[in-house]
Structure 1
Amino acid sequence: MKLWHYALIVFLGGCCYGILSTFVKLAYLAGFTVPAVTGGQYLFGVVLTWLAVLFTKKKKLSLKQTSKLILSGIPFGLTGVFYYQALQTLNASLAIVFLFQFVWIGALLEWVFHKKKPTLIKLFSIALLLIGSILAANILFQKQMALSWIGTFWGLLAAITFSTFIFLSSSVEKATPPILKSALLSSGGLITVFIIFPPTFLFDLEILVGVIPYGLALGIFGVVLPPLLFSIGMPHVGSGLGTILTASELPVVIAMSSLVLAEPISMPQWIGVIIILGGIISSNIRSGNSNKKSLYTQNTTC
């Protein structure tokens, strides 16, 4: 596949995360608690992923490789937990802006660990994404908005763990088949969530049956698809560009809120969405040109 194919795969992984908030709101409106919704999401997602593994070609992994992938799934589980904690004391609009800081944290991780200094184009794209996120979250035009230092702390922790998960998806055990890698990453996330939110809902048949539709939807779009798509695309695009591509989450959040929940979306929010998409496109045009240039250089030196 070409580089833009892998970029599109990572972009779609970010879109999957954008779908989650709509189903979470619907689950809360139906009366389900955060532990039940979060636990159901990871439980059903992990079960579905391992079922898919049964129908794929098997590859034997050592205990060390398996352990590395399961441990790499810890940030995956922590992101949801930290983001929920942020929502306890922060307005949802502010919380998502703090979460959105993962776009520059990912570039920083790539610079520190892979020695890939961000280009001016990448920095410009990140700036566009941050400006777009502020507009899309509509925080400039809200009359009352309380800033909590505790909420800010949890929101930034969620950004750190999310960017860490993206970084690990691009660098840990690259040769592992994507579906198996996704299953092990998700299992690490499930263990983390169950440690923090003990799965008591499993022992209440009424709650367990009721949460199944939401757990399946959240499991597919939040646990099955993102790790799988990231496992396929991230090793090829890198964590720096990968974090920019996953910014597709916020435009999908806005679109789903408008189309499914019928929430009013202001013009500045739509402008923010356009700016975010512009930032994603600008980073990929530059990456595409750089990739072609490197291929041309290789061909001329051969």
Structure 2
Amino acid sequence: MKYLLSVLLGAISYGILSTIVVKAYGKGYGLGEVVGSQLLVGFILVWSLVLFTKLREKRNKKSVDGKGKFAVEMKASLTWKQRFYLMAAGTPTAITGLLYYESLRYISNSLAIILLFQFTWIGVLIHAISHRKRPDGIMLLTLAVLLGGTMLAAGIMEQGLSNFNWIGVAFGLASAVSYSLFILISGRVVPSVHPAYRSGWMITGGMLCVFILFPPTFLINGVLWGDLLLFGFMLGMFGAFLPPVLFAIGVPHIGEGMTGILGASELPVAVMLSAVVLHEHVSVLQWMGVVLVILGVMLPELAKRINRTNRSYPLTKLDV
């Protein structure tokens, strides 16, 4: 149960980010300041965790052999080539944040999170094209449910297409593509390294990417020491620090399938906060769409569990 709760809390943490960003925009802060402060705080928190992990493992190592060889072993465990790969793998998540947060300038919070969740079918499409493998029946059904739920949740059935800001929609869909690439890439890059070290180098790469695109002038012009520090801390804590740590704790114990199901809780949390905190109108039909999207995320795992059950308890002549 504690591992299920860990992943659930990680997903909920992701769900509150967009509301914080909208509030930061309301205070007059720009995209570079918001994302830059988030990654800077996340960078400090993650590397603090790395330092704590090193010190703890050093004490454990000394208590075992008393030779004090930990520092040499840790340095040799991760080459600079591996560190570069991890930093490169961290850039898509920074790009995702930039695209997603920029979409919030043009469209509602509830629509932006719906568009981001299109990473589910976009990832399937990218995987199918790269492996030249056609999706099976359950995956096609999943895609149909996801697209139908998206049309309802986005309000297309009620408002039509003419009322949408297509610049914001384009940014939202681009963030879904970027997030799909991050998921496909991140799990394959140096997977044997401790999650804390992987997170540290990946967030370093993401932060450097953002600082190149948006030079961090907020560090020297005094802007950081206003409300931006509070927004940056909340975004860094709930976006760059807690979810990776919580997922690292829970995912190995519950599996990727259950992680996908629990991860879908990000969607209703974001939509609910849009309605309660930002006072955006979310109709009953849109909530039905949200439920359909969550069902679409759950379908592949549910199908796997049903298949495993059927194989474990096959029908016999007596059953028939």
TM-score, normalised via structure 1 length: 0.80
Q: What is the match of residue 55 of structure 1?
A: 52
Is 2:222 the counterpart of 1:225? no
What whole-Å deviation, never above 9, does each CA across 1:158-213 have from its counterpart, x for those lacking one? 22211111112322211111121111111111111111111111112244332111
Is 2:209 the counterpart of 1:192? yes
Q: Which moved more, 1:269-278 or 1:221-230?
A: 221-230
- Distance in 1 (CA, whole Å) between partners of 2:49 and 2:39 is 15
Is 2:197 the counterpart of 1:180? yes
Q: What is the match of residue 202 of structure 1?
A: 219
- Distance in 2 (CA, whole Å) between partners of 1:115 and 1:177 is 33
Is 2:305 the counterpart of 1:288? yes
RMSD over aligned Cα, in angstroms? Answer: 3.4
Is 2:31 the counterpart of 1:31? no
Is 2:268 the counterpart of 1:251? yes
Q: CA deviation at 1:137?
A: 2.6
Which structure is larger by alpha-carbon Rg, 1 or 2? Answer: 2
- Distance in 1 (CA, whole Å) between partners of 2:218 and 2:137 is 49
Is 2:33 the counterpart of 1:15? no
Q: CA deviation at 1:18?
A: 1.8
3-state SS of the aligned residue for 1:159?
A: helix
- Distance in 2 (CA, whole Å) between partners of 1:210 and 1:119 is 50
- Check 1:212–1:154 CA distance in 2 against 1; reply closer, same or farther (3 A cut): same
Is 2:105 the counterpart of 1:105? no
Task: Give, as a single letter, the amino acid of the residue that structure 1 aligns with 2:215.
Answer: P
Task: Give, as a single letter, the amino acid of the residue that structure 2 aligns with 1:47.
Answer: I
What whole-Å deviation, never above 9, does each CA across 1:54-85 have from its counterpart, x for those lacking one? 11146431111111111000101111222344
Structure 1: state its 5+ residue gaps: 297-302
Q: Say which of 274, 277, 284 aligns to 2:291.
A: 274
Percent identical among aligned pairs is 41
Q: What is the match of residue 137 of structure 2?
A: 120
Q: CA deviation at 1:87?
A: 4.8
Structure 2: state its 5+ residue gaps: 58-73, 314-320
- Distance in 2 (CA, whole Å) between partners of 1:234 and 1:166 is 16
- Check 1:241–1:74 CA distance in 2 against 1; reply closer, same or farther (3 A cut): farther
- Check 1:230–1:76 CA distance in 2 against 1; reply closer, same or farther (3 A cut): farther
Q: What is the match of residue 73 of structure 1?
A: 90
- Distance in 2 (CA, whole Å) between partners of 1:67 and 1:294 is 44
Q: Which moved more, 1:174-183 or 1:133-142?
A: 133-142
- Count, aligned residues: 291
Q: What is the match of residue 300 of structure 1?
A: none
Q: Which moved more, 1:176-185 or 1:242-251?
A: 242-251
- Distance in 2 (CA, whole Å) between partners of 1:236 and 1:113 is 28
Task: Give, as a single letter, the amino acid of the residue that structure 1 aligns with 2:152.
Answer: L
Summarize the alignment of residues 230-245 of structure 1 with structure 2, pairs less than 5 Å apart.
Answer: 233=251, 237=255
Q: Say which of 137, 145, 165 aligns to 2:163.
A: 145
What whole-Å deviation, never above 9, does each CA across 1:82-128 have from its counterpart, x for those lacking one? 23444556666665454333111212344455787644223323332
